[in-house]
Chains A and B, each alone.
Chain A
Amino acid sequence: MADDSLADLKALSLQELSASTVSIASKSQQPISETPSAVFVISHEEIRRSGMQSIPELLRKVPGLEVARVDANQWAISSRGFNGIYANKLLVMMDGRTVYDPLNSGVYWNEQDYPLEDIDRIEVIRGPGATLWGSNAVNGVINIVTRSSQESQGLLLSGGTGKEEPGFGTFRYGGQLNPDFHYRVYGKYNHREDFHFGNGEKANDSLDMGRAGFRGDWAPDARKNLIVQGDYFNGDMQQSLSNIDTTMPISADNTKKYGGNVLLRWQQTLDNDSRLQIRSYFDHAVRNQSRLDYRRSTFDFDLQHNFRWQDHNLTWGTGYRYNSDLLAQKVALLHFDPTQRDVHLFNVFAQDEWRFFADDLRLIYGSKVEHNDFTGFEIQPSARLLWIPSQQHSVWGAVSRAVRVPARVDHDLNVLFNVAPDTTANVLGDDNFDSETAITYELGYRFFPSDAFNIDTTLFYSDYGRLSTTEPQSPIVSGQDTTIPFLIANKAKGETYGWETAVNWRASENWRLQGSYSLFGIALHRRDGSLDTAAEVAEGNSARNRVNLSSYLNLPHQLEFDAHWYYTDRLLNQVSAYHRLDLRLGWQPNLHFELAVGAQNLLDNRHLEFSPYLDNAVISSEFERNYYIKATVRY
């Protein structure tokens, strides 16, 4: 900061200070009470006090979000239904970089990690966010936001051991090159032990993963800022697979994974107070499995401009994504055709926030228009109305359309299953596969009687069309052998509905309570002519009722005692209801040291959380009781 602007700052009167506006918009988050969508934010403090060691586990507390551990290193996470290992109706981002994989539109959760101490917050939007964020934001958007380098200066070392994670550790150092440029570098390692199957046998599902990265923040003045960041990961993951040939036994599969990304973001406030953001990233991932080798490169460019005009706050933007992959066949029964594919995705969008009646009523409407190589143009509009009758209440309603564009598997998969002696099923992708669509109606109400208490409720109803099915075709007989082709098609539809409530109560200066309840219902239907008996499987992958309760208590002598209780109703796909209780005791004698001990899943020896069905060969194992100890040093 230059000396003359420092003097200007010093000379501001209190009146001028309170009238001054903040120049970079990204930092001024909208208060949740003024957001016309179902938003939930996990704060830095809640991350620290959760006792969790990984990003997917942190998401458990979000109402409306389904989080189930499939095995020691894989998760099934979805928003508002359609859960699976590669649940494909959820958009997940890290600092704006999309992390779902275009192979299957799912997220490889065990590759998404970061030093939790440097994550500022996790923002979760349930429901469609496609108008701004684009395809895959059908039922929700998760954005993991890391701290700026300025906020993570100095040395941090944390490490610990637990029954399920015998070794985990993080190193971070943040420094300053000059007053305008801050940076940090980090390294992180964790090892997860094998879980066990229901019969007590050890599952082969351990994980060894190391990662390293950096971030630099350059802010030459208050109106401009440039971020450069990058990460690299490398590790091995085990999983137990049911064999493609069902007559063969379970096989242990080892996947070698590595990859990295570099992201650049430039933000600037222009002379007319409008804001410009340019973001670009390159992302590369390699997964070498026993059945398939996969490598992918993604380049993304995104521009966004925001300005005010009278009572309107307009945002528009455009983007381009290039994706190139290579799928090398390793077993005779599984391949992709073509093995290599380049895909281009273009989009433009515009959204307007129009304020009436002294800002009490706001209409937010707009659309995204995307063009992809598989289905051509896709339109994803939404309209939202927010009414803030008083400081204590706000009501909102929304109608939106979102699509899930075809993934590589939908078009190019070619896999053979031995279903009976001499009979083979051949599942084939289809070039005519269309986007899955959803129209969602939402109604929300928030009540803030005081700063210490608030309650947030959302009701929703979604109508899905062109859902994916696998349609059997006429068998092909050649001598003794029969092959039944199955073609991936869009011959199902369905509805979901639900109720989500989150409560936040600061009972006293030293005690905070947080709770949530979610009710969810789903009905899927085969369209006329569909023969896919598995089309309704997704009905059985979501719990009807879920409850979370967290208590954060500060005790004398710098002690913290935290408790988290989770309840998930049964899944129809052979998973019983379960309770999970986590306790944590933390001690922070001074600024530089922190010690935490905890127990997870205290009331239960172990339980099953998810059971993949047909869509994936992974065999799930059971989540076990865990104890851990963790120490953190900061200088």
Chain B
Amino acid sequence: MWHRSLFSKVVAKTGWVYRYLLSMLLCCLVLVNPSRANEQRFNETELKAAYLYNFAYFVTWPETNRDFLFCSYANSPVTTILARLIVGERVHDRAIQLLIDPVPAQLHECHVIYIPAQQERILAATLEFVRAFPVLTVSDTADFEDRGGMIRLATEDMRIQPVIRLKNVTRSGLGISSKLLRSSRVIE
């Protein structure tokens, strides 16, 4: 399958030089043109991918030494953007990987699983597989939080807003930072 050959597992390099340069570049951009980030308009896909990327930093998982593993599905454009966002990145000094189209046996190893609305048909089964594990489930499916999901990326009034079903998150032993809670709509 062509997806797998393109970005099957995106394994981060140590690459501290790259990261250093990048942060330099970013701070310069901000200094030179502080309003740049506000002017830049992103589309729905890009904003959703950015949220997923941020969840890796603002959610805490029970301690493991494994690499940080994002899981997503191939026919969502969000997956493509996410793959490019995590290149060369690390979370809490762990490399980030992206697993596309995980088979059920791999699902419990994911830290974050994104089930795009395009894959709604496997939503129920996926949630069932990961129920007993500390896996953050994210989707943009309309009533995701009512179907047992944790975070829904809702499009409201031309903005993307996370809707968090707190009960479903804490039940699995995950923690959410207050910063993320503040910029989200929290249910219960």
Establish whether residues B54 and A222, one from each chain, have CB atoms under 8 Å apart when the complex forms. no
Within 8 A of B (CB), among A209-226: 219, 222-223
A18: Cβ under 8 A from any B Cβ: yes
Number of cross-chain contacts by CB at 8 Å: 154
A5 to B30, CA, bound (A): 13
A14: Cβ under 8 A from any B Cβ: yes
Q: Which residue of A lies closest to B25 (CB)?
A: A7
A27-B43, A222-B41, A222-B43 known; A588 and B122 CB under 8 Å? yes
Other CB < 8 Å A-B pairs besides A11-B30, A22-B43, 11 of them? A6-B85, A7-B29, A9-B49, A14-B58, A17-B50, A18-B162, A150-B45, A154-B1, A269-B41, A451-B145, A591-B122
Q: List 10 A-B contacts (CB under 8 A).
A: A6-B85, A9-B42, A20-B47, A22-B155, A154-B75, A176-B2, A452-B146, A509-B147, A558-B124, A590-B103
A8-B36, A20-B47, A25-B158 known; A43 and B125 CB under 8 Å? no
> Which of B61-69, B76-84, B91-99 lies at the interface?
B76-84
Which of chain B's residues have a CB closer than 8 A to the CB of A554?
A: 124
B133: Cβ under 8 A from any A Cβ: no
B3: Cβ under 8 A from any A Cβ: yes
A591 to B125, CA, bound (A): 10
Which of chain A's residues have a CB closer than 8 A to the CB of B109?
A: none
A197 to B145, CA, bound (A): 49
A17 to B46, CA, bound (A): 10
A594 to B122, CA, bound (A): 10
Establish whether residues A175 and B183, one from each chain, have CB atoms under 8 Å apart when the complex forms. no
Q: Which residue of B lies closest to A552 (CB)?
A: B124
A14-B54, A17-B183, A150-B77 known; A7 and B26 CB under 8 Å? yes
Establish whether residues A21 and B41, one from each chain, have CB atoms under 8 Å apart when the complex forms. yes
Establish whether residues B80 and A179, one from each chain, have CB atoms under 8 Å apart when the complex forms. yes
Establish whether residues B145 and A20, one from each chain, have CB atoms under 8 Å apart when the complex forms. no
Establish whether residues B159 and A21, one from each chain, have CB atoms under 8 Å apart when the complex forms. yes
A151 to B48, CA, bound (A): 15
Which of chain B's residues have a CB closer than 8 A to the CB of A28?
A: 44, 155, 158
B180: min CB distance to chain A, Å: 6
A12-B37, A451-B143, A506-B143 known; A17 and B43 CB under 8 Å? no
A391 to B2, CA, bound (A): 45
A15-B183, A506-B147, A591-B101 known; A10 and B85 CB under 8 Å? yes
Q: Which B residues have a C-beta under 8 Å from some C-beta of A?
A: 1-3, 22, 25-26, 29-30, 36-38, 40-47, 49-51, 53-54, 58, 73-77, 80-81, 84-85, 101, 103-104, 117-122, 124-125, 127-128, 142-143, 145-148, 155-156, 158-162, 179-180, 182-184, 187
Establish whether residues A23 and B42, one from each chain, have CB atoms under 8 Å apart when the complex forms. yes
A11: which of B37, B73, B81 is its contact (CB, 8 Å)?
B37
Establish whether residues B159 and A18, one from each chain, have CB atoms under 8 Å apart when the complex forms. yes
A635 to B4, CA, bound (A): 11
A18-B159, A19-B159, A510-B124 known; A24 and B37 CB under 8 Å? no
A31: Cβ under 8 A from any B Cβ: yes
A29 to B160, CA, bound (A): 12
Establish whether residues B85 and A175, one from each chain, have CB atoms under 8 Å apart when the complex forms. no
A350: min CB distance to chain B, Å: 22
A7-B22, A174-B75, A591-B101 known; A23 and B121 CB under 8 Å? no
Establish whether residues B44 and A22, one from each chain, have CB atoms under 8 Å apart when the complex forms. yes
Establish whether residues B75 and A509, one from each chain, have CB atoms under 8 Å apart when the complex forms. no
Establish whether residues A17 and B51, one from each chain, have CB atoms under 8 Å apart when the complex forms. yes
A27: min CB distance to chain B, Å: 5
Which of chain A's residues have a CB closer than 8 A to the CB of B2?
A: 175-176
Q: Which residue of A lies closest to B89 (CB)?
A: A10
Establish whether residues B160 and A151, one from each chain, have CB atoms under 8 Å apart when the complex forms. no
A409 to B159, CA, bound (A): 48
A48 to B118, CA, bound (A): 12
Which of chain A's residues have a CB closer than 8 A to the CB of B122?
A: 588, 591
Establish whether residues B183 and A8, one from each chain, have CB atoms under 8 Å apart when the complex forms. no
B47: which of A11, A17, A179 is its contact (CB, 8 Å)?
A17
B187: min CB distance to chain A, Å: 7
